């Protein structure tokens, strides 16, 4: 059925010191060494990237950042650029997470700029989108994710689309313990793939991975990951425990 290799990423958010991050990375490396059925990444805080990249060097677990700025360098106090992330060993960068949209003024336009900047320096962006509970209740889910897609993908041409992952993260499912049902998630993933087909053609749309995020746990991972258009997971809380994250990785369809 699905031809896409599944991809599980852990978003550690603003958790763990550098030494705690290194310790978690080392545990994951030991637990997942030799696991070859999916792509795996962890996204620690900026300050822990170097230590985690060091702990995971030569392993199957890649490293990603949780954000980036779109300029390469300059007078932008407090920001981190794509080339800096590449230099520290990142392969991925999350862009447009709902927490950044909610608390840090991220817009569809700035998400698009960050995604394009990530691609320009060789990173693989994980573009997050998803509706709020209010938007879902109003029946606006498809309109919202369509608008978010248009913003995020405005600067992404056909030559770069192969390096992009989407993470569908309904805001009402993030950190709440209430995940979208596999059917609810599949419905939106299928819709997103349809939008990708319109913009980039069927081959590119079929190849692009769409992760689900929002209260993914070892107990619900297998059901979610068995849906035809769910190609992985972006895991928050459960990625902070090595046993839970490893169990989610092992739930990938083979």
For 251, the 3-state DSSP assignment is coil
Q: Which helix (H) or strand (E) holds 85?
A: helix 82-88
CB of 96 to ligand 13P, least distance (A): 10
CB of 66 to ligand 13P, least distance (A): 9
Classify burial at 145, counting beta carbons within 10 Å of its beta carbon; exposed 0-12, middle 13-18, buried 19 or more: buried
| Cβ proximity to ligand 13P, 127 vs 156, nearer residue | 127
Residues 6+ apart with CB under 8 A from 14: 45
Structural tokens at position 133: 């509970």
Catalytic hit among 131, 135, 169, 189: 169
Catalytic, 169? Answer yes
Catalytic, 189? Answer no
Binding site for ligand 13P (CB under 6 A): 11, 97, 169, 174-175, 213-216, 234-238
| Cβ proximity to ligand 13P, 145 vs 200, nearer residue | 145
| Cβ proximity to ligand 13P, 229 vs 244, nearer residue | 244
Nearest-CB residue for ligand 13P: 236
CA 90 to each of CA 12, 106, 136: distance values in angstroms, whole numbers, following the listed order: 15, 22, 34
CB of 76 to ligand 13P, least distance (A): 24
Catalytic hit among 97, 106, 131, 135: 97
- Give yes or no for a contact between 251 and 221, defined as CB atoms under 8 angstroms apart: yes
**Residues labelled catalytic:** 97, 169
């Amino acid at each position: 059925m699905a031809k896409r290799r599944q991809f599980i990423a852990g978003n550690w958010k603003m958790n763990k010191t550098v030494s705690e991050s290194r310790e978690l990375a080392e545990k994951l490396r030991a637990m997942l060494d030799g696991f070859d059925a999916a792509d795996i990444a962890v996204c620690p805080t900026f300050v822990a990237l170097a230590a985690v990249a060091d702990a995971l060097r030569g392993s199957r677990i890649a490293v990603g950042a949780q954000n980036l700025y779109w300029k390469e360098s300059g007078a932008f106090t407090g920001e981190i650029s794509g080339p800096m992330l590449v230099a520290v060993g990142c392969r991925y960068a999350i862009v447009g997470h709902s927490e950044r949209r909610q608390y840090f003024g991220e817009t569809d336009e700035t998400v698009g700029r960050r995604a394009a900047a990530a691609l320009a320096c060789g990173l693989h962006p994980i573009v997050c989108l998803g509706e709020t509970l209010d938007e879902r209740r109003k029946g606006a889910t498809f309109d919202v994710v369509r608008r978010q897609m248009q913003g995020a993908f405005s600067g992404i041409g056909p030559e770069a689309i192969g390096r992009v992952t989407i993470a569908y993260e309904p805001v009402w499912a993030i950190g709440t313990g209430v995940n979208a049902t596999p059917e609810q998630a599949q419905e939106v993933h299928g819709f997103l793939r349809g939008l990708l087909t319109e913009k980039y053609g069927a081959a590119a749309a079929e190849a692009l991975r769409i992760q689900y995020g929002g209260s993914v746990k070892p107990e619900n991972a297998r059901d979610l990951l068995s849906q035809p258009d769910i190609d992985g997971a972006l895991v928050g809380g459960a990625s902070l425990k090595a046993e839970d994250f490893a169990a989610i990785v092992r739930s990938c369809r083979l």
